[in-house]
């Protein structure tokens, strides 16, 4: 048979620009992480590969502050953390309660419905976190088997308090699933002390590894639920028992579940090593300090945070009202064109309404904060010459 010709476009050179990624993620990977990526690929069951997986497991146990043996990664993007936790814990007809503080609650609700759950919602006022009183009311009314909430919603920049929430859910025989994609490493997380049953995060945010591999952890209570299912977990690829046997979580012999990307393991391993070297309390403080400095600078410019109450503000992804008379898209394009700096617009409920500035990983420093403040101001001035920062302050 005749073959069609190869495409010319692949004869061109691959050229990748170096940008400063200060949107909601991915953030920049440290040089050490990028250098690790070019190591030769290893087989998915080679002892050296399993050793790196073990390193990642203990690193994530430390960063999640958990002793759960079922601490591992799923080989896909952060969305897969949401998929895997919900898919394992839900069966047809189960009631899933979703706490909505932005886009990510809506996404979890969609996934829950696809998995056959009866989805109920408790929604925060836009730009605010949910009070435990409202959550408890909803637990009483809906009697869910699983409650899902996002610790840091990257669309609204809202930080949801979690301390005591696991205990509250367990009072109503409900499991607690927490999305920490945009928060872990920037704010405190105590999986065990807070009795969180399933958790996941993004590799490409505070941790500073490339995306494509997603750390997560399941409590014993969550595993008991999985092991008492009436039906098989609907997706082989997300099945925590198979995945856990590959990651050596249950004391059983390792199995071949899928071909893990050793490349992504190298990057994540090095990123976790850097967090461990700094120490998680120091990492968190650095992110808090950076966000505080950013907020002070924005205030001086007369710009207003989207989350009105200071305690609701996620330090990793800062949402800022787009002032009247300013075109957010032009600002973002200007910042990218002239400074190679990524400043993002909104997402979902905040689309068109906010700027989002990410302070994550190696971008959570005084220098980067001062730089992004300068870039934002200059980009607003250049694209909206009639806009008055002075007037905005009043």
The annotation places the binding site at 356
Query: How far is Cα 272 from Cα 58, in angstroms, rounded to an integer?
Result: 10
Give me the residue label for tokens 């600002």.
Answer: 331
Candidates 142, 269, 286, 287: give the one binding a second copy (CB under 8 A): 269
- Residue 340 tokens read as 């190679």
Q: Please tell me whether residue 253 binds a second copy under the rule CB under 8 A.
A: no
- CB of 233 vs a second copy, minimal distance in Å: 7
Residue 309 gets which letter from DSSP?
A: S
Q: Which residue in 53, 61, 216, 226 binds a second copy (CB under 8 A)?
A: 61
Matching residue, tokens 């759960």: 68
Applying CB under 8 A, the span of 75-83, 127-135, 144-152, 302-310 interacting with a second copy comes to 75-83
Number of other CB atoms surrounding residue 18 within 10 Å? 7
Contacts to a second copy from residues 345-364, by CB under 8 A = 347
Q: Is 5 in the site for a second copy (CB under 8 A)?
A: yes
Taking CB under 8 A as the binding criterion, the range among 23-31, 128-136, 286-294, 314-322 that sits at the site for a second copy is 23-31
- Nearest approach, Cβ of residue 130 and a second copy (Å): 21
52 scored as a contact of a second copy (CB under 8 A): yes
CA distances from 148 to 62, 140, 190, 288, 344 (A): 23, 15, 17, 25, 26
Which CA distances in Å does 219 have to 59, 85, 91, 167, 176? 17, 11, 18, 13, 10
Q: Residue 229's CB: how many other CB atoms inside 10 A?
A: 13
Q: Take residue 262 and report the two structure tokens written for it.
A: 């050793």
Instruction: Tell which positions 226-245 bind a second copy, by CB under 8 A.
Output: 232-237
The yes or no reply on residue 114 touching a second copy (CB under 8 A) is: yes
Q: Is residue 222 part of the contact set for a second copy (CB under 8 A)? A: no
Among 50-58, 132-140, 287-295, 386-394, the segment contacting a second copy (CB under 8 A): 50-58
Q: Which is nearer to a second copy, 53 or 303 (CB)?
A: 53
Task: Please say whether the beta carbons of 386 and 323 come within 8 A.
Answer: no
Nearer to a second copy, 94 or 139 (CB): 94
Cβ closest to a second copy, residue 333 vs residue 381: 333
Minimal distance, residue 7 CB to a second copy, in Å? 4
Task: CB nearer to a second copy: give 188 or 302.
Answer: 188
Q: How far apart are CA 144 and CA 173, in angstroms?
A: 8
Segment lying near a second copy (by CB under 8 A), choices 117-125, 142-150, 210-218, 287-295: 210-218
Closest distance of CB 14 from a second copy, Å? 6
Which H/E stretch holds residue 47?
helix 47-64
If one asks whether residue 25 binds a second copy (CB under 8 A), the answer comes out as yes
Window contacting a second copy (CB under 8 A); options: 125-133, 276-284, 300-308, 323-331:
276-284
Contacts 24+ apart (CB under 8 A), 128-131: 128/101, 128/158, 128/307, 128/308, 128/309, 128/312, 129/101, 129/158, 129/159, 129/160, 129/161, 129/311, 129/312, 130/99, 130/101, 130/160
The least CB distance from residue 120 to a second copy, in Å, is 18
The only residue of 91, 134, 188, 248 in contact with a second copy, by rule CB under 8 A: 188
* Footprint of a second copy on 154-183 (CB under 8 A): none
Closest C-alpha to 283, from 63, 65, 78: 63
107 interacts with a second copy by CB under 8 A: yes
Task: Return all residues near 6 (Cβ < 8 A) that are at least 6 apart.
Answer: none
Site for a second copy in 292-331 (CB under 8 A): none
Question: What stretch of H or E contains 35?
Answer: helix 31-37
């Amino acid at each position: 048979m005749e073959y069609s010709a190869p495409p010319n476009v692949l004869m061109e050179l691959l050229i990748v620009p170096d940008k400063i990624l200060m949107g909601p993620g991915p953030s920049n990977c440290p040089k050490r992480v990028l250098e690790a990526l070019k190591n030769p690929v290893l087989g998915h069951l080679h002892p050296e590969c399993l050793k790196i997986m073990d390193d990642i497991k203990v690193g994530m146990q430390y960063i999640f502050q958990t002793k759960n043996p079922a601490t591992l990664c799923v080989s896909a993007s952060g969305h897969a953390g949401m998929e895997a936790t919900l898919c394992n814990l839900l069966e047809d007809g189960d009631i899933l309660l979703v706490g909505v503080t932005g886009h990510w609650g809506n996404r979890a609700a969609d996934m829950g419905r696809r998995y056959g759950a009866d989805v109920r919602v408790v929604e925060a006022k836009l730009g605010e976190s949910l009070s435990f009183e409202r959550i408890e009311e909803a637990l009483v009314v809906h009697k869910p088997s699983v409650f899902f909430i996002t610790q840091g919603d990257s669309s609204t920049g809202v930080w949801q308090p979690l301390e005591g929430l696991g205990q509250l859910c367990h009072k109503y025989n409900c499991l607690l699933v927490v999305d920490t994609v945009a928060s872990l490493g920037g704010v405190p997380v105590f999986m065990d002390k807070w009795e969180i049953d399933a958790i996941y995060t993004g590799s490409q945010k505070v941790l500073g590894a490339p995306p494509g591999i997603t750390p997560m952890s399941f409590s014993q209570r969550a595993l008991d639920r999985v092991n008492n299912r009436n039906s098989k977990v609907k997706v082989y690829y997300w099945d925590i028992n198979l995945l856990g046997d590959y990651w050596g979580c249950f004391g059983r012999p390792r199995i071949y579940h899928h071909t893990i990307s050793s490349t992504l393991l190298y990057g994540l391993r090095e990123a976790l090593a850097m967090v461990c070297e700094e120490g998680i309390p120091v990492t968190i403080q650095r992110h808090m300090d950076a966000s505080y400095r950013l907020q002070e600078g924005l205030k001086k410019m007369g710009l207003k945070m989207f989350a009105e109450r200071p305690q609701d503000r996620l330090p990793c992804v800062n949402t800022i009202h787009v002032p009247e008379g300013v075109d957010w898209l032009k600002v973002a394009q200007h910042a990218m064109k002239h400074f190679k700096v990524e400043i993002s617009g909104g997402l979902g409920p905040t689309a068109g309404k906010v700027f989002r500035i990410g302070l994550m990983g190696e971008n959570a420093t005084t220098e980067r904060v001062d730089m992004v403040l300068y870039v934002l101001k200059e980009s607003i001035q250049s694209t909206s010459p009639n806009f008055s920062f002075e007037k905005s302050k009043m």
